[in-house]
Each structure stands twice: as structure tokens, then as C-alpha cells.
Amino acid sequence: MPQIHGHCDDGFGAVRAAFEENFAEREELGAAVAVLVDDVPVADLWAGWADPARTRPWERDTLVNVWSTTKGPTALCAHLLVDRGLLDLDAPVAAYWPEFAAAGKESVRVRDLLSHRAGLAGLREPHTLAELYDWELTTARLAATEPWWEPGTRSGYHALTYGFLVGEVVRRVTGLLPGAFLHQEVTGPLGIDFTVGLPEKEEGRVAELVQPRTVTGAASAFFAQMEPVAIASLANPPTGVAAANTREWRAAEIPAANGHGTARAVATLYGILAGRGSFGGRRILSEEAAERVREGQGSCRDLVLGAGFAHDTEIGLGLWLSGANRSYGPNPRAFGHDGAGGSCGLADPEAGVALGYVMNRMGPNIADDPRKMALIDAVYASL
């Protein structure tokens, strides 16, 4: 059992206990969790190892790739532009990105990109990792490709393409890639230790991702039943631990999947939404804009991830709603995003709660990793 570092308020001892149990019972290697209530940190814990050889302790400022938990900050970039009147959610994407109108996509709206309803869950032609690292090539192929389904009618998880689609709109409006825009407008001014991609100077702080020990029956069944659109979304190109531990992956701009940060940073970013657009007395988004992020776009069986869930799910304008399955706690209108392997960002404006959880041992579950769920349950038991 590794030593637990950091602090935890007396009333939130259940969070510390759940964090310890993740190491004792759920095969945690290295991890951190941060919980904010009304912008005040009530738990900020870290423990374990930053590498599988257990030679580097997980430190207070250890960074790690958080996979799709990155999608929340990327969505925030778009909502900042909407809030400023520079982006219209109901405008066609082609109004900002003219090439996007090809292959019958002239009526696809900006909100369809944010809610995974654009029909572009993955590319139809083979796309290599090296090509994924090429922003211009990837966005050009997305602009040229035909949707997998009628846009706007159903959600289908855009695992990698989400960041290029939303990110290219951000770039067309601002002239900046989303990582640079996020730094300029949010993480830089607020001192948030989070980047899209990883600057080379930070390599010494990054944790090495580790493969899961096992694959659950549910995950096995899901992968066995994958439809062509799911294969395109989740495996074109194939990504994973081996790729994500390379300098090439870390150096690239992949705004759906290669954000790097601390749990504290993730909690702060999602805390902007939990605070209805404000954090630490600073207004980042208007209350109206922050509320719009969780505007549900319709519950359905997701066309990519549906086989992995026993229930329908609903995506707002960039983030998943907690819903009846309590993915982000008992408030069905709480919202957040999981990252592959277990990481999570959570925002609950009604409770004033934000949570960031990051780790380096990938879990085998499709979503709602038991380590994440144990921490969320402990937070709400403590309120």
C-alpha cells in the first residue's frame, strides 16, 4: 500500500478511504484525485508510481495523458466563442469551414459536432498514426468524407475526430489551434496545469501509461460486436498505451484525446462549469453559456458505444449527462467526461462540486471505471 500524499478535509474522509481502496483492491498503480466544493479544494490526493517499474513516485505535479477527458476543455473553447458571439451553434459548419460542405455535409450544424451527431465518428479510409499527427491532412480528410448516418439524428461517439472537427472550427474563427486558444484564454490566465499535447520541456513530469491487467466480459463483448462505424471511430488509426507513451503522440495536437494535466487541473477546468461559468471570482463564461454546455441533444443508444451499455445515454453540447445511470453522481443533470482507462472530469452546478481523477494504469471498462465510481460515490456521501 503506497503512502497517500496531499490533504483531505475532515468531512471528506470517505474520499481518502476510497482512494486508498483503489490501490488496495482495484489495482491502482499511480493516481491523483482532486475535489472542489464551491471552488474550495476539499480533497487533493496523490499516491503510487509514475512508471510500471516503480522507480518514480507520483508527485504533486505529475502529469498524465487523460485521453477523452480532454474533450471537456475542447468543448469549453467552442463555448467561449459562442458566448462572445463569434460562433453560432445552429449555423452550418461550412459557414466557418467552407470545405466541410463536401459529400452532403452542407447542413451539418456546429451543435452536431459538439454532440457527436455529425455522422463523422471516424474516417472511412485507413488513417495511420503518423497521418493523425498531421492536422492539415486529418481535417482535410474529414472535410471530404461522407457521414456514416444522417447528421443530427443520432449520437455516435467521435472518439478521435471530435477534437479535429470542433478544433478546426475554433481555428477557423480564431486563427489558433484549440490548445493554443485554451492556453491563451483559460489555462494561462488561471494558472491551470493542463495542455493539449505535452511540451517537450515537461517530459520529466509525465507518468507512463500502463496496459490494463484484464479485460472485462462487458468490454470483450463490446469489441466482439463492433460495427464498421465503431471500428472507424475507435480503431482508425489504432491507438493505445504504446502510442500514447511516445514523444510523437505527446507532441501532436489531438484535442479529443491527448490532454495532459494533473487531477487538480482537471477539477479546475470542470470547476468552471460547476461554478456556472465562474471560478475563483473570475468570470470565464456567462451563466447562460455555462448552462448551455449541458443542454441535452436527445437520449439514444449511441451508434458507436451502444453495445457497451445496457441503457441509452445522452450527450449535451460537448459533455455527457449523468442521467439515470449516475455516471457523474446522483444528480441526473450533473455532467462530465470519462477518458479511456478511467480518468474523469465532473461538474455538478447544483451541488457546486467539481472532481478530477487521473491515473496511469488503464482500466478495462468502456466507461464508469470502478475506481472513478468509488470516488464519486464517496464525494456525494460526504456532502
φ, ψ for residue 45, nearest 5 deg: -125, 145
Say whether 35 sits in a helix, a strand or coil.
strand
Catalytic residue, candidates 68, 233, 322, 343: 68
Q: Which of 253, 349, 255 is nearest to 293 (CA)?
A: 349
The CB-side HSE value for 198 (13 A sphere, CA atoms) comes to: 27
Distance of CA 343 to the CA centre of its chain: 8
Q: Cell 490566465 maps to which residue?
A: 189
Q: Which helix (H) or strand (E) holds 380?
A: helix 370-382
Q: Which of 379, 381, 281, 382 is nearest to 336 (CA)?
A: 379
φ, ψ for residue 272, nearest 5 deg: -60, -40
Q: Cell 470502478 maps to which residue?
A: 370
Active site residue 68: yes
Write the DSSP string, 113-172. HHTT-SS-SS-SS---HHHHT-HHHHHHHHHHSPPSS-TTSS----TTHHHHHHHHHHHH
Say whether 58 sits in a helix, a strand or coil.
coil
Give the whole-angstrom CA distance, residue 59 versus residue 194.
16
168: cell is 478546426
Name residue 45's beta-bridge partners: 6, 33
31: cell is 493516481
Q: Which of 371, 21, 206, 361 is nearest to 2 (CA)?
A: 21
79: cell is 463555448
φ, ψ for residue 247, nearest 5 deg: -65, -35
Q: Cell 445511470 maps to which residue?
A: 325
- The answer to whether the CB of 206 falls within 8 A of the CB of 352 is no
Q: Cell 500514447 maps to which residue?
A: 244
The residues annotated as belonging to the active site are 68
